[in-house]
Amino acid sequence: MRRIPFNFPHKASRELEYLSEVLQSRRLSAGGKFTRACEAWLEAATGAPRVLLTTSCTAALEMAAMLLGLGPGDEIIMPSFTFPSTANAFVLRGATPVFVDIRSDTLCIDEAAIENAISARTRAIVPMHYGGVGSDMTGIMQTAKTHGLKVIEDAAQALCARHHGRPLGSFGDISAFSFHESKNVVCGEGGALLINDPDYVERAEIIRDKGTDRQKFISGQVDKYTWVDIGSSYGPSELLSAFLLAQLEEAESSTIRRRIAWNRYHEMLEDLEQAGNLRRPSIPPSVEHNAHIYYVVMPTSEQRRLAIAKLGEPGISAMFHYAPLHATAAGRRFGRVSGSLAKTEDIARRLIRLPIYADISAEDQESVVRVLKGL
């Protein structure tokens, strides 16, 4: 059996053409033609009034924390079952992550747990859309409105996914996407900040441009640009943007191919779930996911260890996922827990992610399932 990688980035048709155009133009730094084209594509796809490309989703989340003016004494509610960047972006500003449990069906933040986590110090809610499956944004936005809180969507995994027909990333005041090599649409490293509240647009441009009013200079509003606020170098090079535009142009078609592969796993594993050998993902009818992850939950942590080992023997790469943030050294140091996180801890011990990407073959998926059936 040939090796089956866990992830294999999709190759679109025009990356080399666009990269060649950038090299010939000799305009390599941030803010050029391809950056603007990517931002326009994302604005059209999500309905966001303004999108700013960034060097990573982490950078976009850091910008979000700056835009909200977060600092010491402020609290931000988020799931513990997420990547460290979700918390780090706010810890860097001195704020405190408050970790809550996840839902057992979507593995996203449990909207019912948010209410009890709210304190006088709470400033924002940060739902993370696990595997391109939407959090319950309807309930979350209502809770935020009731308590006067901001919502920042960590939509790192959620491009081309929807909740009640509306694009993920379009609900919160601010949202962040990732184009890391491991995502559905990639440029190696990259991200985007979606600004759904127009009041944040001008300051977001300043923060991305190293704290300067460079955009006003470019638009002719000032005769020179100067340092006016905090900020950093968050803009990606034109090379990254050119590669990304080729990927975005095929985002919907590659997502369809991923969904076909996702559905194939789902059908082939049904009898194993019925036999009690594993649990498949459960997707609410309100969700149109993007097939970013296909996971199974094994009955015990030992059975997960055995499954990963057995899959690895013929060269199949399968992965566990997050160590819950509240249980890490940094999580204990910088954050706090609200309520029971039993579902988070249980899922983290038993979940396996199977290989999935736009170009995976039916034969390779059958090989994966064959090993699982042989356990």
Above 90 in pLDDT, residue 375?
no
Decide if 317 contacts 6 (C-beta within 8 A).
yes
CA distance 308 to 318: 6
The pLDDT tens digits of the residues spanning 45-86 come to: 999 999 999 999 999 999 999 999 999 999 999 999 999 999
Task: State the pLDDT at residue 255.
Answer: 97
Give the pLDDT band of residue 193 (cuts 50, 70, 90).
very high
Report the pLDDT averaged over residues 284-298.
Answer: 97
The pLDDT tens digits of the residues spanning 74-127 come to: 999 999 999 999 999 999 999 999 999 999 999 999 999 999 999 999 999 999
Write out the two tokens for 367.
């090989």
Report the pLDDT averaged over residues 135-164.
Answer: 98
**End-to-end Cα, the chain, rounded Å:** 18
Task: State the pLDDT at residue 92.
Answer: 98
Residue with tokens 């706010």: 90
Report the pLDDT averaged over residues 253-265.
Answer: 98
For residue 234, give the nearest of 55, 5, 75 by alpha carbon: 55
How many residues does the structure list for the chain?
Answer: 375
Mean pLDDT, the chain, as a whole number?
96
Write out the two tokens for 109.
């933040």
Long-range contacts of 251-255 (CB under 8 A, 24+ apart): 251/45, 251/159, 251/160, 251/184, 251/185, 252/160, 254/10, 254/12, 254/184, 254/185, 254/358, 255/160, 255/184, 255/290, 255/291, 255/358
Counting Cβ atoms within 10 Å, is residue 292 exposed (0-12), middle (13-18) or buried (19+)? buried
Task: State the pLDDT at residue 214.
Answer: 87
Q: Which domains does the chain have, with CATH numbers?
A: 15-249 (3.40.640.10), 251-373 (3.90.1150.10)
Above 80 in pLDDT, residue 1?
no
Decide if 320 contacts 353 (C-beta within 8 A).
yes
User: H/E/C letters for each residue in 208-265?
Assistant: HECCECHHHHHCCCCCCCCECCCCCECCCCHHHHHHHHHHHHCHHHHHHHHHHHHHHH
Give the Å distances, CA to CA, from 224 to 166, 202, 216, 266, 313.
41, 17, 9, 58, 62
Write out the two tokens for 361.
């073959």
Task: State the pLDDT at residue 63.
Answer: 98
CA distance 52 to 35: 9
What 3-state DSSP class applies to 346?
helix
Model confidence, pTM: 0.96
Write out the two tokens for 314.
């013929």
Above 70 in pLDDT, residue 185?
yes
Residues of the chain with pLDDT > 90, as a percent, come to 95
